[in-house]
Amino acid sequence: MRIMDLLDRKSISISGSPKSKDEAIRQMADLMDKSGKLSDKEAYVKGLFAREEESTTAVGEGIAIPHYKGNAVTKPGLAAMVIKDGVDFDSIDGEPVKLIFAIAAPDVKENVHLDVLSKLSVLMMNEDFSKGLINAQSVDEFVDIINKYDEEKEEVKEEAPVTAQSGVKILAVTSCPTGIAHTYMAAEGLQKAADKAGVFIKVETRGSGGAKNVLTAEEINEAHCIIVAADAKVPMERFDGKKVIQVPVSDGISKADNLIQRAIDGNAPLYKASGAVEDTDGGANVGVGQQLYKHLMSGVSHMLPFVIGGGILIALAFLLDDFSINPANFGKNIPIAAFFKTIGEVAFGFMLPVLAGYIAYSIADRPGLAVGFVGGMMASSGNAVLEWVNSAGEPLTYTGLNGFLQNTVFGASGNTVSGFIGALVAGFVAGYVVLFLKKIFSHLPQSMDGIKPILLYPLCGVFIMGALMLLIFNPIIGVVNTALANMLNSMGSSSKILLGFVLGAMMAIDMGGPINKAAYVFGTMSISQGNYDIMAAVMVGGMCPPIGIALATTFFKNRFTVAERQTTITNYIMGACFITEGAIPFAASDPLHVIPATAVGSAVAGALSMLFKCTLMAPHGGLFVFAVVGNWPMYVVSWLVGSVITMILLGILKKPIKK
């Protein structure tokens, strides 16, 4: 199969003039649609944009190769556009793009077209080929150039790499999320750079058609250095103890010479299959901040389904329930509501353990999972308050270690639930505790390797994690909550507007955590004392974060990832149902920008609620209790103002995501 078998003449434009990247992608979809190879053009467009969210397909030197593989494509195809004046395409070298090849690949097992696409990707690395296409004066000339180079490529016989006299042997693995273009362009870039440097290289490509040119155990053993240029998962255990350079696949295209030189110099860390890397070059090629963010996003991405699934079911429970039966039991007053709320609460219960567990998993691999789960569960449940008595019911007082534990851990006053902040801390602590244990136990005889993951890591890790949560993290929360309660009580007698401001902010700082719960408990206690304005400020403060974030994902789309924008409707529903936790994934992934925005918006809403003398007689919130809200029109105004402030601050504080 040749390139022109996939490229229809109707899908070629040599006079493109898009004004932006978005416009260029849509024009490429129009060209592709002319060939009749799309079943759903809009789905294809969305697929192209989704690929750009992962990383730009503009590979430098004025070239871009946007691509999509999925059900929107009926037959494999190509579309091409020449843009004489260039267009900004977020290229990795910052240069405008003048030549675009769009790829459409069907989601089928037969991947006969992939060889053609990989051949085109490699040809694009040839400067004469790409310049010839950019300067083509007609579609016929454009096609002739492709056919000329396609024939030359067919005639070239693959030859085994020759070991250089220096004896340096470099191996490489390239892979991108879709495995179509960047995989092979990075391989070609590394091969050319190695040829220029006069060293041996073998490149394993992991594309849509599977792994090709797979590295053998003998080759890995003899390798001087290994380059992994990948944005997709690559089997790494085989490289244990070898010097490995890990970079994005785009670096294999744009920084190939630098990577080869680093490999020749041995300027790379030793890879440890456990996930730990021994830094030998004075600085890891991936920054600490990037590593922490990757671990954090591992936890957030796994937590998100529990938040969405559980949150919507709880919202349905409120929608179906009868508030008038028993306001204190709202959500479970009738069987059908209780049915939905019970399932939703179980899903919500997994949220923090999963967050902590998968942060730890990202850091320490599978052994970190159990330790992180335990830490997250303890952050969610807090410390138990226990009372010891003898058979006669008389209280027992212990001394020594027992007395310390009795008073510090199991007799702690106040709420010791540390919430999602505690779960974040638990996840990172658990991961690094397990890495520490791996290092400690690495000195044991090899015969004991089998019991490390099933006995030593979980036993020691869970004990250390549990002790830290019970003795340090959770008790600290109890002290914080006691201080907050005292502060709120004193504030209530001085300035109601200031109290509303503080309560609103507290509801939005940790979203379901101890600070949020302290404000909520204070509001419910105030109802029993006949102070209904405090609960109103609490409720409006808790409803603003999800709505403000939903508004931001609606009107500031470029500040959020595709996955984040997909939660927009869910957050509208959660905000309307007083489920503040819908904002947790956003706060967890970007706390420095999201938490200030939500806190300020909710604080203003709480202050306005107090200013307008709004009241709430129910110990809960959401649209479903508006029947018992006093001065509800101004209450809605307070809610909307706070949400819009959150939206505006998010638009200001969060920067557009780089494609």
Which CATH number does the domain housing residue 125 bear?
3.40.930.10
Taking the CB of residue 351, how many other CB atoms lie within 10 A of it? 25
DSSP secondary structure letters along 170-213: EEEEEE-SS-SSHHHHHHHHHHHHHHHHT-EEEEEEEETTEEES
Q: Pick from 104, 122, 155: which residue ends a domain?
A: 155
Among 541, 501, 503, 523, residue whose Cα is nearest residue 646: 541
| Structural domain boundaries enclosing 175 | 169-283
Give the whole-angstrom CA distance, residue 547 versus residue 622.
12
Any idea what the Cα angle at residue 145 is, between residues 140 and 150, rounded to 5°? Answer: 125
Question: What total number of domains does the chain contain?
Answer: 2
Give tens-digit pLDDT for 28-43: 999 999 999 898 999 8
Inside any domain, residue 187: yes
Give the whole-angstrom CA distance, residue 612 versus residue 405.
48
Q: What percentage of the chain has pLDDT greater than the value 70?
A: 88
Q: Are 614 and 631 in contact (CB under 8 A)?
A: yes
Residue 156 predicted with pLDDT over 50: no
Any idea what the Cα angle at residue 304 is, between residues 303 and 308, rounded to 5°? Answer: 125
146 and 64 both lie in a single domain:
yes
Q: Are 73 and 39 in contact (CB under 8 A)?
A: yes
What is the predicted pLDDT for the residue at 278?
A: 39
Q: Are 28 and 38 in contact (CB under 8 A)?
A: no
Give the whole-angstrom CA distance, residue 636 versus residue 626.
10
Give tens-digit pLDDT for 162-180: 444 457 899 999 987 655 6
What is the predicted pLDDT for the residue at 99?
A: 92
- Whichever domain contains 205, its CATH number is 3.40.50.2300
Give the whole-angstrom CA distance, residue 181 versus residue 185.
6
User: For this structure, is 176 an active site residue?
Assistant: yes
Give the whole-angstrom CA distance, residue 62 versus residue 51.
19
User: Who contacts 470 (Cβ-Cβ below 8 Å, separation ≥6)?
Assistant: 378, 383, 409
Give tens-digit pLDDT for 545-597: 999 999 999 999 888 887 788 888 888 988 888 888 788 888 888 888 999 99
114 and 13 both lie in a single domain:
yes
Inside any domain, residue 625: no
Q: Pick from 258, 283, 308: which residue ends a domain?
A: 283
User: Who contacts 529 (Cβ-Cβ below 8 Å, separation ≥6)?
Assistant: none
81 and 150 both lie in a single domain:
yes
What is the predicted pLDDT for the residue at 546?
A: 93
Ranges of beta strands (E only) in 543-644 are 615-616, 629-630
Q: Pick from 283, 306, 336: which residue ends a domain?
A: 283
Among 114, 125, 238, residue whose Cα is nearest residue 191: 125
190 and 65 both lie in a single domain:
no
130 and 254 both lie in a single domain:
no
Inside any domain, residue 174: yes
Average pLDDT over residues 54-70: 81
62 and 206 both lie in a single domain:
no
In a 13 Å sphere around the CA of 357, the CA atoms on its Cβ side amount to: 16
What is the predicted pLDDT for the residue at 191?
A: 87
Catalytic residue among 176, 225, 544, 614: 176
User: For this structure, is 67 an active site residue?
Assistant: yes
147 and 185 both lie in a single domain:
no
The better pLDDT of the pair 537, 487 is held by: 537
- Provide the pLDDT confidence category of residue 130 given band limits of 50, 70 and 90: confident
Taking the CB of residue 439, how many other CB atoms lie within 10 A of it? 12
Q: Are 424 and 355 in contact (CB under 8 A)?
A: yes
125 and 12 both lie in a single domain:
yes
Q: Are 38 and 32 in contact (CB under 8 A)?
A: yes
Q: Are 543 and 536 in contact (CB under 8 A)?
A: no
- Cα 38 to chain centroid, rounded: 30
What is the predicted pLDDT for the residue at 646?
A: 96
What are phi and psi for residue 377, nearest 5 degrees?
-65, -40
Inside any domain, residue 450: no
Q: Are 160 and 238 in contact (CB under 8 A)?
A: no
Average pLDDT over residues 432-455: 87
Average pLDDT over residues 228-234: 81
Give the whole-angstrom CA distance, residue 384 versus residue 398.
17
Give the helix ranges, DSSP H, for 328-448.
335-349, 351-364, 367-381, 400-408, 419-441
Q: Are 430 and 360 in contact (CB under 8 A)?
A: yes
130 and 221 both lie in a single domain:
no
* Full-model pTM: 0.52
Give the whole-angstrom CA distance, residue 255 versus residue 370.
39
Could you give the C-alpha distances from 423 to 288, 460, 593, in angstroms and in order? 20, 19, 19
192 and 276 both lie in a single domain:
yes
Strand partners, 101: 80
Catalytic residue among 67, 182, 302, 620: 67
What are phi and psi for residue 267, nearest 5 degrees?
-85, 75
User: Between the ranges 136-140, 294-298, 577-581, where is the mean pLDDT highest?
Assistant: 136-140
- Provide the pLDDT confidence category of residue 631 given band limits of 50, 70 and 90: very high
Inside any domain, residue 207: yes
Among 615, 556, 545, residue whose Cα is nearest residue 580: 545
Give the whole-angstrom CA distance, residue 485 versus residue 228.
53
Which of 83-87, 129-133, 520-524, 579-583 shows the lowest mean pLDDT across its residues? 520-524
The mean pLDDT of the chain is 83
Taking the CB of residue 49, how many other CB atoms lie within 10 A of it? 18
Inside any domain, residue 66: yes
Q: What percentage of the chain has pLDDT greater than the value 90?
A: 31
Among 198, 192, 189, residue whose Cα is nearest residue 162: 198
What is the predicted pLDDT for the residue at 28?
A: 93
What is the predicted pLDDT for the residue at 605?
A: 96
Q: Are 642 and 504 in contact (CB under 8 A)?
A: yes
Inside any domain, residue 226: yes
What is the predicted pLDDT for the residue at 47?
A: 87
Q: Are strands 67-70 and 63-64 parallel, antiparallel or unpaired?
A: unpaired
99 and 190 both lie in a single domain:
no
What is the predicted pLDDT for the residue at 270?
A: 86
Inside any domain, residue 580: no
Q: Are 578 and 620 in contact (CB under 8 A)?
A: yes
Give the whole-angstrom CA distance, residue 458 versus residue 368.
8
53 and 134 both lie in a single domain:
yes
